[in-house]
């Protein structure tokens, strides 16, 4: 399936109740406060951390490829009394009406882009939407194979209507040459006699540091910092990176 369509239907419904964690909003709030507003979150999903940043009064907008996830975001925003501006667009095909002083991804969402060509298109979109003095923040990570003992293990949650929600990894393939890891995920919803089951491939595509820097340069961007999660300079060989980008001179 098209990777941009992964978070739709039952997957979007189950995402919130079964998400393993929500990103800490503090680092992204600090980034926006440092880089300036307006700001844009790429891959904003159902609103974490965008809604918290808006609650703090930061001028942050969002964009996501899933209309279903954006509908969840809008519903959450209405429930919390938060005004949020979001756009339904793919990261690799941005065409927004303004430029931003800060563009960021909250977590390694960039690895959901399936190949280098799509990543280059996304970086060119970032370049086109950054102000001349703007800064972009792109977290990257290299996924590790799912332990064999975790394959088939089911995580469960309960929906507001009482339905039982389940997700499990049923198979996985890894291609070191293509730098992809494809995990077949099974999503289930059971409510009385009604059941829905969907299996979807979750593709992660990772980037060695030098490969990402080459893509950024080709997109007209300059890497200004490469740090770890805590903001310290990333050591050689690190697989969890936060990369800052500026428009190339």
Residue 236 has pLDDT above 90, yes or no: no
Q: Which two tokens stand for residue 33?
A: 């406060």
Q: What is the pLDDT of residue 152?
A: 97
Q: What is the pLDDT of residue 3?
A: 81
Closest CA relative to residue 119, chosen from 89, 142, 90:
90
- Supply the pTM of this predicted model: 0.95
pLDDT category at 86 given cuts 50, 70, 90 is very high
What is the Cα–Cα distance from 230 to 138, expressed in whole angstroms?
Answer: 14
Closest CA relative to residue 154, chosen from 167, 164, 138, 137:
167
Strands laid side by side in the 221-227 sheet:
86-88, 60-64, 39-42, 100-105, 130-141, 240-247, 221-227
Q: What is the pLDDT of residue 21?
A: 67
Residue 229 has pLDDT above 90, yes or no: no
Taking 3-state DSSP, the helix, strand and coil percentages for the chain, each rounded to the nearest 5, stand at 30, 35, 35
Q: Which two tokens stand for residue 197?
A: 């089951």
Q: Which two tokens stand for residue 190?
A: 């059971």
What is the Cα–Cα distance from 211 to 1, expressed in whole angstroms?
Answer: 26
DSSP one-letter code for 93: G
pLDDT digits (tens, 9 = 90+) for 206-221: 999 999 999 999 999 9
pLDDT digits (tens, 9 = 90+) for 164-194: 999 999 999 999 999 999 999 999 999 999 9
For 194-203, what is the mean pLDDT? 96
């Amino acid at each position: 399936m098209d990777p941009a369509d992964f978070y739709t239907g039952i997957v979007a419904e189950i995402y919130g109740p079964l998400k393993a964690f929500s990103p800490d909003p503090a680092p992204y709030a600090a980034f926006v406060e440092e880089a300036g507003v307006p700001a844009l979150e790429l891959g904003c999903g159902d609103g974490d951390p965008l809604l918290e940043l808006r609650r703090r009064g930061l001028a942050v907008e969002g964009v996501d490829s899933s209309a279903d996830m954006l509908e969840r975001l809008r519903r959450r925003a209405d429930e919390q009394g938060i005004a949020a501006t979001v756009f339904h667009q793919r990261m690799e095909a941005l065409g927004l009406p303004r430029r931003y002083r800060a563009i960021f991804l909250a977590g390694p969402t960039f690895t959901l882009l399936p190949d280098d060509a799509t990543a280059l298109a996304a970086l060119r979109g970032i370049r086109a939407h950054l102000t001349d003095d703007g800064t972009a923040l792109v977290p990257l990570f290299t996924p590790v194979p799912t332990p064999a003992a975790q394959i088939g293990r089911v995580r469960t949650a309960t929906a507001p209507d009482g339905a039982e929600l389940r997700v499990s990894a049923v198979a996985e393939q890894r291609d070191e040459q293509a730098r992809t890891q494809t995990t077949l995920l099974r999503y289930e919803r059971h409510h009385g006699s009604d059941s829905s089951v969907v299996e979807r491939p979750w593709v992660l595509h990772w980037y060695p540091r030098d490969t990402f820097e080459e893509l950024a340069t080709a997109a007209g961007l300059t890497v200004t910092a490469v740090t770890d999660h805590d903001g310290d300079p990333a050591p050689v060989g690190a697989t969890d990176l936060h990369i800052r980008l500026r428009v190339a001179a």
